[in-house]
Structure 1
Amino acid sequence: MDAKVRGNRTSAAASRVYRPRAEGPRLSVGFILAKRFTLCAFANFVDVLRLAADEGDRSRPIMCGWTVLSDTMSAVPSSSGITVHPNERLGDPTKFDYIVVIGGVMDDMSGLGPEYTAYLEKAAAAGVPLVGVCTGGFLLHKAGLMDGYRCCVSWFHHADFLEQFDGLDPVSDQIFIDDGDRLTCSGGASSAHLAAYLVEKHVGRAQASKSLHIMIIDDAMRPEKPQPGVSMDISTRDPMVMRALLLMQQNIDNPLSVSELARRMGHSKRQLERHFRTALGASPQAAFLQIRLTFAHHLIETTDKSVAAIAVECGFCDSSHLSRMFRQRFNHTPHELRKRAPVADRVVEAA
């Protein structure tokens, strides 16, 4: 998408004004549950609405309303096997402030079916914002409703997304994204934060905070909060550095320059380098090299891949380049480490 168009859309989302309804709840949400949807993501989202909707913990849908929609009214099984019964059939989407699609497991991404797709198209045409939770963003994309939009995906599914979907900008270094009339989040606990973000805009900050506190969640997180990723042996509380480290992790095989890293994050190179020095006492380049070497060390110990293949996978020019950097970091070569690693502990690559 053109950067100017994206900037205008982001500004519009940030400045959107929400006015109380003349009657009924201030925030009304319709849910579409995919087959084998993620129960945790759905429950977190609904509970934030429930706790914000009434005084105390009485759960009356006064300030917030929520409805599970269906094309057939059949119970929908979650990925855990627990089923949820819909409240009403698909109808007029404009009665809701948002239509939220809760996605399911990656190995069952067949799509939503024609009735749901037509309903979502009708909602989009009427200007009702669509929300993709967990892999719900994938389903919106399959329905042709995410073209030109950024889509928040879990760092765990980033590679799956790149393999299966074209024409969409996946972002896995934030917990959720408000991209105008499309909102997406990575699932899990982030769905509670996205719900609180909407409650704050429509109902009020106090109600959003109350919901999270009752759920034993300390404070609301903003969209740009980094997702927790896999262990990299690098620890920091600096959000900018955490986001940069996650981007590095996702581009191990094709290392980004510091300038490109800063550009993708919307910061200057100098600003990013200053944060790295303060948080880690190291440059971004040094941190990136450590991530790549740590990953190479892991692959040498746990797989039967050749050193040359591991060098390519970890973004090194060749095996000699990897060996030289490896020795400087670990005081031994990849081949010396491979000799010490028990064969039984390694995963043999299929021919």
Structure 2
Amino acid sequence: MHRIGYLLSDGFQIMALASQSVFEFANDAAGEAFYGIENYSMAGGEVRSSLGMKLDTRAVSARTAMDTWIAAGVNAPLTARPPAALLAFLRRASTRSRRIAGICTGGFVLAEAGLLANRRATMHWAYARDLQRLFPDVRVEEDRIYIVDGPVWTSAGMTAGLDLALAMVEKDLGADVARSVAHKLVMHQRRAGGQSQHSEMLDLAPKSDRIQNALNYARKNLNRPLTVEELAGEAHLSPRQFSRVFTQETGQSPAKAIEGLRLEAARLMIEKSRHSLETIARETGFRDRRHMREAFMRGFGLPPQEVRREARAQV
């Protein structure tokens, strides 16, 4: 049995425990109790979540051994240095376990213990720059879902912990089991670690159904040119009214928003498929590969080839 220990402290974010369901359903899909889950804290006993829920935990000791340790995050970055005993325990655990992970701000604790020094790591977008400022020897990549650097795993916040756990299942039990778990948990897809933390559609957040309908139409038809007149027709507005209302509701012009949707779709295809860059450019509505590269440099500061290299390196 592969034993996984969740290391909790007062104020832990309850969403971190949702990732335990991934391992639970992996046992079901594998047809055996491959994973065993236990909750720990330094002193043991009752630990309170940020929501006030009480959870009983076991105390760690010098004899506590796990195949995987996962440090749960709290709802804010570090405000005080963690206890020396906790940091010493993590350093010792990192030499005795197969892997060690930090979900969301749990990465701050790993960094304090020196486990992220000279490693790539990610963090919830709201705290990534704090991590880089406090720990300049960490190679922080703030726009990632999760990152695996050797035996150390880090993830962004909230639902990204599910992606990290699912990636562990895929590594341990294979892609078929991971797909089965994702299906049972009604996860839309297994997100690649290099995928952006941000969703262009969520960032736009239109206030009316008519603008939302136009955006949904655009996303389904990115493989061909989209004009303001065409989108305005979907919103049942004149082109002039549409441009004005669209900008008021999203803070962006229609052209800029559509380019953002194209970029998001192209990046996902680059990370998850083996299609050529020419094919991806055509399927996501860019004029050609050069046009797509120019948009990537504006949007991400990286050319498409570098995004693909990073994704393959993580795999």
Instruction: Tell me, yes or no, whether TM beats 0.5.
Output: yes
Identify the residue that residue 49 of structure 2 maps to in structure 1.
Answer: 78
Identify the residue that residue 230 of structure 2 maps to in structure 1.
Answer: none
| Superposition pairs of residues 254-293 of structure 1, within 5 angstroms | 279=284, 281=286, 282=291, 285=294
- Quote how far apart the aligned CAs of 1:227 are: 1.9
TM-score, normalised relative to structure 1 = 0.58
Q: Identify unmatched segments of 5+ residues in structure 1.
A: 1-24, 245-264, 266-270, 292-351
RMSD: 3.4
1:65 partnered with 2:36: yes
- Aligned partners of 2:77 and 2:108 also within 8 Å: no
3-state DSSP of counterpart to 1:145: coil
State which of 72, 93, 98 in structure 1 corresponds to 2:68: 98
Equivalent-residue separation in structure 2 for 1:51 and 1:86 (angstroms): 22
The alpha-carbon distance between structure 1 residues 162 and 114, as it changes in their structure 2 partners (threshold 3 A), is closer
- Quote how far apart the aligned CAs of 1:289 are: 6.0
Aligned-pair identity in percent equals 22
| Superposition pairs of residues 1-351 of structure 1, within 5 angstroms | 25=1, 27-40=2-15, 42-54=16-28, 62-93=33-64, 95-126=65-96, 128-229=98-199, 230-231=203-204, 233=257, 234-236=260-262, 238=264, 241=267, 279=284, 281=286, 282=291, 285=294
> One-letter code of the match for 1:32?
L
- Quote how far apart the aligned CAs of 1:173 are: 2.5
3-state DSSP of counterpart to 2:75: coil
- Quote how far apart the aligned CAs of 1:91 are: 4.0
The alpha-carbon distance between structure 1 residues 151 and 205, as it changes in their structure 2 partners (threshold 3 A), is same
Equivalent-residue separation in structure 2 for 1:242 and 1:163 (angstroms): 29
The alpha-carbon distance between structure 1 residues 222 and 126, as it changes in their structure 2 partners (threshold 3 A), is same
- Quote how far apart the aligned CAs of 1:32 are: 0.6
The alpha-carbon distance between structure 1 residues 102 and 278, as it changes in their structure 2 partners (threshold 3 A), is same
The alpha-carbon distance between structure 1 residues 283 and 202, as it changes in their structure 2 partners (threshold 3 A), is closer
Q: Identify unmatched segments of 5+ residues in structure 2.
A: 205-251, 301-315
3-state DSSP of counterpart to 1:87: strand
The alpha-carbon distance between structure 1 residues 78 and 273, as it changes in their structure 2 partners (threshold 3 A), is farther
The alpha-carbon distance between structure 1 residues 181 and 287, as it changes in their structure 2 partners (threshold 3 A), is closer
Q: Provide Cα deviations, 1:50-100, integer angstroms capped at 9, x if missing partner.
A: 1222369xxx9822111111221132222222232213433435x322111
Equivalent-residue separation in structure 1 for 2:157 and 2:77 (angstroms): 16
Q: Provide Cα deviations, 1:263-283, integer angstroms capped at 9, x if missing partner.
A: xx9xxxxx9899667635355
- Quote how far apart the aligned CAs of 1:217 are: 0.7
Equivalent-residue separation in structure 2 for 1:147 and 1:206 (angstroms): 34
> One-letter code of the match for 1:39?
I
- Aligned partners of 2:144 and 2:195 also within 8 Å: yes
Higher mean alpha-carbon deviation, 156-165 vs 96-105, is at 156-165
> One-letter code of the match for 1:160?
D
- Quote how far apart the aligned CAs of 1:109 are: 3.8
Equivalent-residue separation in structure 1 for 2:32 and 2:55 (angstroms): 19
TM-score, normalised relative to structure 2 = 0.64
Q: How many residues align?
A: 237
